[in-house]
Chain A
């Protein structure tokens, strides 16, 4: 299915779901649950908590559908709800602004390794990162959000998001024992 077709398909389903069509919403759930779960799992590091977050996020999305603007990306909107749900579940000052050295230049979200890494090894390294660095890395590095989008989702300043990504890059470099650009 081409990307445009996917978007049109989503729009049609969203319109039906807005009118109370649960089957349409289930289709949206089936289409997006993998990504939302992947995001929640990487942020929470706990399969049960991640599943709870996914359920809560989709329930919140159903309730908020009338306020969803069709021009926006449904996927991004859903991810924002999921990130909020994860942050609520943590119930702590996890995203407090933290002091890290200034990354200096613009921190490019994409990370390239100088030699290939096994997925399992990389996932384990990400899982071992401190929460703030992991959040920034997951949203910017894995899911491709801009710093401004990720910072908005996490409720932190853009500079903090960049600093956290910079920190994550350094820690990954140490833990994977290979160059990370």
Chain B
């Protein structure tokens, strides 16, 4: 039985939504900030909303990986140069993340496993997956560089964490990929 009320203004004013609406709002705000930055660009020089671009690049990389690892790897593996991920590259790890020993350890282990997986892939697929992962890492580097100029920017900090999480998810997906559709 629900609560009884004597006056209409005794009804609860607060009715929380059934799901968290903030992520969609935050994404729209990030787009807005990105658009504002573009508008403030030096005249004559078109400035790309870099974090929007970084986010897009990360999304594209994830999509590419998703598509690629869903394919059948029918061809025998052949060694191809420059398609492995450096396991220890402090430059690729955001400073905040470098302090997180557990994150660093997990990433290093994942990278070793992903490199083994990459080595077993057909060369063309390997190159594409490696390129997608490199795009993700580049996005993280771009955000880290921007944070260097604006360390207190909360949206950048959030985007950095999200991008690092996306990279971890992508690495995990590649590691766990096989012949089955992902």
* Chain A interfacial positions (CB closer than 8 Å to B): 20-26, 29-30, 33-35, 37-39, 41-42, 47, 50-51, 54-55, 58-59, 62-63, 110-113, 116-123, 137, 141-144
Contact of A116 among B4, B15, B154 (CB under 8 A): B4
- Evaluate whether A110 and B7 lie within 8 angstroms (CB atoms) in the complex, with A22-B154, A55-B24 already known: yes
Q: Is the CB of B15 within 8 A of A122?
A: no
Q: Is the CB of A38 within 8 A of B14?
A: yes
Within 1-52 of B, Cβ neighbours of A (below 8 Å) are at 1-9, 11-19, 21-22, 24-26, 28-30, 32-33
Q: Is the C-beta of B72 less than 8 angstroms from some C-beta in chain A? A: no
Q: Is the CB of A29 within 8 A of B25?
A: yes
Q: Is the CB of B5 within 8 A of A117?
A: yes
Chain B residues near A23: list those with CB within 8 A. 154, 158
Contact of A118 among B1, B18, B29 (CB under 8 A): B1
* Chain B interfacial positions (CB closer than 8 Å to A): 1-9, 11-19, 21-22, 24-26, 28-30, 32-33, 153-155, 158
Contact of A120 among B2, B17, B33, B158 (CB under 8 A): B2
For the complex with contacts A20-B155, A22-B158, A122-B8, 16 further pairs of A-B residues with Cβ separation under 8 Å are A24-B154, A25-B29, A29-B22, A33-B21, A37-B14, A42-B15, A55-B28, A112-B6, A113-B8, A116-B5, A116-B6, A117-B6, A122-B5, A137-B8, A142-B11, A143-B13
Q: Is the CB of B153 within 8 A of A20?
A: yes
- Evaluate whether A142 and B5 lie within 8 angstroms (CB atoms) in the complex, with A29-B25, A59-B28 already known: no
A117 to B11, CA, bound (A): 10
Main secondary structure, interface of B, reads mixed
B5, B17, B26 — most chain A CB neighbours (10 Å)? B17
Chain A residues near B17: list those with CB within 8 A. 33, 37, 47, 50-51, 54
Q: Is the CB of B7 within 8 A of A113?
A: yes
Q: Is the CB of A34 within 8 A of B14?
A: yes
Q: Is the CB of B33 within 8 A of A118?
A: no
A20, A110, A121, A143 — most chain B CB neighbours (10 Å)? A20
Please give the distance in Å from B6's CB to the nearest CB on chain A.
5
Chain B residues near A59: list those with CB within 8 A. 25, 28-29, 32
